[in-house]
């Protein structure tokens, strides 16, 4: 039997698809990455799943981050990049790090989490979230905590006048 994880009760919790949470992937914070402008981190992430230009364009032009999520997660959709599972964490990290560096309010929201564990609360996605049984990988939370550590390290370097 698994034991209840008390650290989840004290964690900073959010949903990836919450349009009001600055740490979600669907907030309207456009950024430039790889020569294109992306309306949200979710637009970038979902577009990178596919290889067919028409699929990429459909996702890129979608109205919102939630729409991009829905388009990229159609179960019947063909044409995904063959190595997507190996690349997905890198793609999400790129999108979220770029979002943080482009928007001071997102950086502040991330730093305001202090040393709290960051948890994506999806009950249905045990990779990005904690899953229904709270034993998911919480990869979204892990990425945010890694970015937070990087941002803090950059702040310390700047404060001490050390060039990177």
DSSP secondary structure string for all residues of 23-54: TSS-SS--EEETTEEESSHHHHHHHHTB-SHH
| E-state strands within the chain | 12-14, 31-33, 36-38, 118-120
* β 118-120/36-38 pair status: unpaired
Contacts of 13 (CB under 8 A, 6+ apart): 119, 120, 121
Question: What domains, with CATH codes, occur in the chain?
Answer: 11-159 (1.10.357.40)
Environment class of residue 90 by beta-carbon count within 10 Å: exposed (0-12), middle (13-18) or buried (19+)? exposed
- Could you give the 3-state DSSP secondary structure of residue 101? helix
Confidence of residue 76 (pLDDT cuts 50, 70, 90): low
149 vs 8, which has greater pLDDT?
A: 149
Q: How confident is the model at residue 64 (pLDDT cuts 50, 70, 90)?
A: very high
pLDDT of residue 161: 78
Instruction: Return the closest-CA partner of residue 100 out of 154, 138, 151, 60.
Output: 151
Length of the chain: 164
Helix (H) or strand (E) holding 118: strand 118-120
Best CA proximity match to 70, nearest among 87, 88, 49, 89: 49
Full-prediction pTM beyond 0.85?
yes
Which residue matches tokens 């991330």? 110
pLDDT at 133: 82
For residue range 117-128, list pLDDT tens digits in order: 999 998 889 999
pLDDT for residue 70 is more than 60: yes
Contact 141, 93 (CB under 8 A): no
- Closest by alpha carbon to 41, among 124, 87, 97, 85? 97
């Amino acid at each position: 039997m698994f034991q209840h994880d008390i650290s989840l009760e004290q964690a900073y919790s959010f949903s990836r698809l919450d349009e009001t949470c600055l740490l979600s992937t669907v907030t309207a914070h456009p950024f430039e990455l790889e020569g294109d402008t992306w309306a949200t981190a979710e637009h970038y992430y979902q577009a990178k799943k596919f290889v067919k230009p028409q699929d990429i364009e459909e996702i890129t032009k979608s109205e919102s981050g939630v729409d991009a999520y829905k388009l990229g997660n159609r179960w019947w959709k063909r044409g995904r990049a063959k190595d997507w599972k190996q690349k997905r964490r890198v793609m999400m990290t790129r999108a979220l790090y770029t979002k943080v560096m482009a928007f001071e309010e997102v950086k502040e929201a991330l730093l305001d989490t202090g040393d709290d564990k960051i948890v994506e609360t999806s009950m249905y996605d045990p990779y990005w979230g904690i899953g229904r049984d709270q034993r998911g990988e919480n990869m979204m939370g892990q990425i945010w905590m890694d970015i937070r550590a990087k941002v803090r390290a950059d702040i310390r370097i700047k404060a001490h006048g050390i060039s990177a």
